[in-house]
Structure 1
Amino acid sequence: MVNCKGKTWDENKYVIKSGLSKVHPSPRSTSLIIATVISIAEAVNMILLQSVDFSEFTETIIDVCLLILVMIPAFYFFVYRPMVAHIKYRKQAEEELLKSYNKLEHSINEIVEGIERINKGDTDYRLEVKTNDQLGKIAKVVNRVTDTTLSYQRLLEKDFNRVKEQEQNIFKVYSDFIFSITQGKFNLLSNDQILTLCLEGELLGKVAVMKSEDVNEARELAARILKEQPLQSKDVYHVILCISEAVTNVLKHANGGSMEIRQIKGSLRACISDYGPGMDLSKLPNIIFVQGFSTKISMGYGYTIMNKYAKKIYLSPSNTGTSLAMDFI
């Protein structure tokens, strides 16, 4: 059943009905009407021919003419006009269906584009609800889901910022405490701070630490550079020991890393970074000060040795890895 501007086309019954309730006969009704008209015409013809004596030829002519006069109006009113109306209304139905399809396609495209915008992060965008049909209901549901998701996202961001602020406060307390207890020798830095620190001065050498052979290469690099420095043999040994401890722990507790040595205003700075899981901030004081304290992500004896022989130590623990810098001489 298709509605076309107040007119309804019933395809099953082949009946065209307008908004004014004009009914055009169906094929069955048309056939009955034509048969009735022909019967009446034949009856009139027989009565006429019986009352007047005509020749056989004349009777045939009169019969044909009377039949034509009756059939033409009957055909026009009961066949031609309904057929024209049927074609007209069917064309209107097709036009309305095409308009409805285009409107439906446009509405679906708007919904899809809106969902894509929201998915890309435009959480302030909302679908425009133009109708109360199923598409309108879908748009309302998408808007409600977006509002709910945005609400949860804001709550998560709020919790994340609160946790991050707490971690920063704890980090500052640890940093101030360690700085004070070591009289400025041990410094806790942020990731950005230690990156800047490890870009200072002149790069003398660098080693990628990915396998056990790289530990020996790091020691040899340190030994070659230290030969050119005014150091006693025991001091050279202590520097190589600190670097060796740091590089060994990169392989032992992380997924690899790198070591480089820089010349910083008359002193040497060794920068070691790894790709491990970082350090638990709550265990940091034990890792640094308790000799032999070790976890899967700590350096055990390493930090106490570094703390003993390095002039200054800079440490940045993060969840993307640990970065360490040591100043010597």
Structure 2
Amino acid sequence: MSAAEARLDTEGAGVTIVEAELDTLLESVPDLISIHDGAGRYLYASPSIMRLVGRTREEVLGRTWREIGLMPDALLPMTQAGEQAMATGEPVIGEVSLASPEGTRRYEYTLSPVRDREGHIAAAIAVVRDITQRQLDRAERERLVAQLTLERERVAAAAEDAERRAAELNAIITSIDDAVNVYSSEGVLTHANPAAVAEFGFDPTGLTRETLLQRISPRHPDGRPLAVEEFPATRGLRGERVAQQRLLFMDSHGRERTALVSISPLAKNGLVRGAVEIWSDVTELEKALAGLAAERTLLHTMMEQMPAGVIIAEAPSGRITLMNQLARELLEHPFRVAQDIEHVIRYPQRMHRPNGEVLGTDLPPLTRALRDGESVIGEEVHLTRTDGSERVLSINAGPIRRPDTLVEVAVATIHDITERRVAERERDAARQRLLATERERKNFNREVIRAITHDRFCLVEAREIPTIGRLVLTLPLEDEESYRTIRECLIETSTRAGMDEARAQDLVLAAGEAITNAIKHGREPRASVYSDSERVTLRACDKGPGIRAEDIPSSLFRRGFSTRVSLGMGYTIMLELADRLWLSTGPEGTILQIEKRVHPEETSEEPPLVWEKL
């Protein structure tokens, strides 16, 4: 029997294989197909296995993988899978990598159990398929699918981003205060924002630039009509960029408006596909600027006419922006715009304080107002001019702040007070001469009065009035109750000191005259009582106008004499009732002190007062 026709008995396993039939069937199959017994020996190997291992069937059958020299480590998973299939009776599927001349190949294997006639597992069939290319194809397919998915996601993201950007751009254009128009390449307005509708008084969307030109009648600033070739939209669609072309136009209500028009072409690959145009309405702005210019002119005119020098400087540079004619004349400074404060201070004149301290560049009032935000009122500065003469200046300076409180500019006003200071010095000199005369007259009156009253009436300065004894009482003379308190204090103090009743009554009467004068003719009248072992004293004070020097003799010695100031002054009565009077009077007020001795002096008969003989 030939080998092709022989039936192979599996040595008791009960499995018979017709090799020739299998070879013929599997000759063209690339899969590796084999049958193994329970010990892992080949019972059958397909032609593809022979070609793979380079051996004959006789060299393979009856041997294991290890015995024919195949890679035991790489095939270990298949060995374990075969043992599992024969043990469980269930097919086992897995993959394994094997080295080959073309590189590592990937194989998929299936191990299925084979049963004999009695149903026992006698062998295992192994089918091994080279899936290297399939895996490469699958990986490539997966890569392509992933790339396609990524591209789709990118396209979707780009479309979403484009939509978002378009929405943002539309929102921005809608919210812009300036009018925005979008033109197609054919010159048709495809979009106009709400500001454009408000600007023109109608919605220009869908109009051509020629139609828009007819409706708004644009003109040059000098009034000449604007041709369609000069229209910003025409220029933009030619590829030009137009920046703030000033135009006059009429809105739908017939009102003339002024606008600054800018346009930029929308180009792609060198071709203009459209243009975006912006109209900035400056009608109100130009009116405001014209009004501001008029106000500035008026301000300059007023400053030039002011009776004071005016200097304005800006912060923080110190650049002077205005100096009127009087300031230039006072400082002898040929002012030019953009000069700074230091240039003015360093000019040949010398500026110094009244005490002679020279002003440095950081000391003048305008510098301090600009640098420190200081407000300066009436600071006196002496200026030595080029001819050697000296002028006295009174300078006011103050900052003008921005809303954030930073100093923006500072303003200084300069008044020439030289003549005023000269007049004040002359007035002060005259006053000193007058005061000297008053003092001489007062001194003369003092000596005369002291002589004719036998030293009982002392006309003195306030500091010369002596304080005699201890203070018993002092209080303001506010009402009748105050006078009653003083009178009771005098009686009680006199009695305690040992003064007889008649003398005490004389003191009370004289004090009443003094208090009456203080209340009637003074402000803030006050009375004090002093006492020692020899005398009781009353002092009445006020802040009235006092007695003029020329009226003092008559007020003291002429009975019935009165003036508006001295009305009711009973000095003659007080002098008759008291032992001694002290009087200090002047513009700052009057102090009258009355002394009454506890006991009369033990002398011979007193000589009569001089004025009693007159």
Same fold by TM (over 0.5)? yes
Q: 1:255 offset after TM fit, Å?
A: 3.5
- Cα displacement (A) at 1:212: 2.4
Counterpart of 2:537, as a letter, is R
Match of 1:219 among 487, 498, 515: 487
Residues 116-172 of structure 1, C-alpha deviations (whole Å, 9 max, x = no match): 76825x4547699xxxxxxxxx98x936x1322222221121111111111111111
- Give a deviation string over 1:5-60, Cα, whole Å, max 9, x none: xxxxxxxxxxxxxxxxxxxxxxxxxxx9xx9xxxxxxxxxxxxxxxxxxxxxxxxx
Asked whether the 8 Å contact 1:291–1:301 carries over to 2, the reply is no
Partner in structure 2 of residue 266 of structure 1: 534
1:298 aligns with 2:298: no
Counterpart CA distance in 2 for 1:287 and 1:229 is 32
Instruction: Return the match for 1:103 from 311, 319, 322.
Output: 319
SS at structure 2 position matched to 1:177: helix
Question: What is the alpha-carbon distance in structure 1 between the residues aligned to residue 512 and residue 528 of structure 2?
Answer: 12
8 Å CA contact retained: 1:218, 1:244: no
Deviation at 1:204, TM superposition (A): 1.0
Give yes or no for contact 1:123–1:150 (8 Å, CA) kept in 2. no
Taking the aligned partners of 2:369 and 2:450, their CA distance within structure 1 comes to 55
Could you give the per-residue CA deviations for residues 206-248 of structure 1, whole angstroms, max 9, x where no partner exists? 2321222322221111111111112221111111111112112
Q: Output the CA distance in 1 between the equivalents of 2:550 and 2:382.
A: 40
Q: Is the 8 Å Cα contact of residues 242 and 305 (structure 1) preserved in structure 2?
A: yes
Secondary structure, counterpart of 1:270 in structure 2: strand
Structural mapping, 1:134-173, within 5 Å: 142=414, 145-173=416-444
Contact 1:215 1:248 in 2 (8 A): no
Report if aligned partners of 1:226, 1:236 keep a CA contact under 8 Å in 2: yes
CA distance in 1, matches of 2:470, 2:451: 30
Q: 1:119 corresponds to which letter in structure 2?
A: G
Q: Hey, what's the Cα distance between the residues in 2 that align with 1:324 and 1:153?
A: 34
- Residues 296, 192 of structure 1: CA spacing in aligned structure 2 closer, same or farther, 3 A cutoff? same
Match of 1:135 in 2: none
Alpha-carbon distance between aligned partners in 2 of 1:151 and 1:116, rounded to the nearest angstrom? 27
Residue 109 of structure 1 and its aligned partner are, at CA, apart by: 5.5
Q: Shift of residue 293 of structure 1?
A: 2.2
* Structural RMSD (CA): 4.1
Give the counterpart letter for 2:320 in structure 1: L
Q: Which has the higher helix share?
A: 1
Which amino acid is 1:104 matched to? I
Q: Does residue 179 of structure 1 match 2:450?
A: yes
2:394–2:417 CA contact under 8 A, matched in 1: no
After TM superposition, the score normalised by the length of structure 2 is 0.33
User: Closer, same or farther in 2 for the Cα pair 1:271/1:99, shift >3 Å?
Assistant: closer
Going from structure 1 to structure 2, the CA distance change for 1:303 and 1:98 (only over 3 Å counts) comes to closer
Bigger-Rg structure (1/2): 2
1:245 counterpart SS class: helix
- The 1-side partners of 2:518 and 2:474 are apart by 15
Structure 2 stretches of 5 or more lacking a match? 1-234, 239-269, 271-312, 322-339, 342-363, 384-392, 396-410, 598-614
Structure 2 counterpart of 1:238, which letter? D
Give how far 1:301 is off: 6.0
- Equivalence for 1:244: 512
Query: Residue 205 of structure 1 aligns with which residue?
Result: 473
- Aligned to 1:119, the other structure's residue is in SS state strand
1:189 to 441, 453, 460: 460
Task: Considering fraction of residues, name the structure with more strand.
Answer: 2
Change in 2 beyond 3 A, CA 1:209/1:109: closer
1:81-125 per-position Cα deviation (integer Å, ceiling 9, x unaligned): xxxxxxxxxxxxxxxx988963238749527869976825x4547
- % identity of equivalent residues: 21
| Alpha-carbon distance, 1:292 to partner | 2.7
How many residues are paired up?
234
Letter paired with 1:103: R
SS of corresponding position for 1:102: coil
Deviation for aligned residue 1:314: 0.7
CA contact (8 A) 1:210 1:255 kept: no
Q: For residues 13-32 of structure 1, what are the structure 2 equivalents within 5 Å? A: none
Q: Say if 1:299 and 1:207 are closer, same or farther in 2 by CA, change over 3 A.
A: farther
Could you tell me which residue of structure 1 aligns to residue 276 of structure 2? Answer: none
TM-score by length of 1: 0.58
Task: Return the match for 1:322 from 590, 594, 600.
Answer: 590
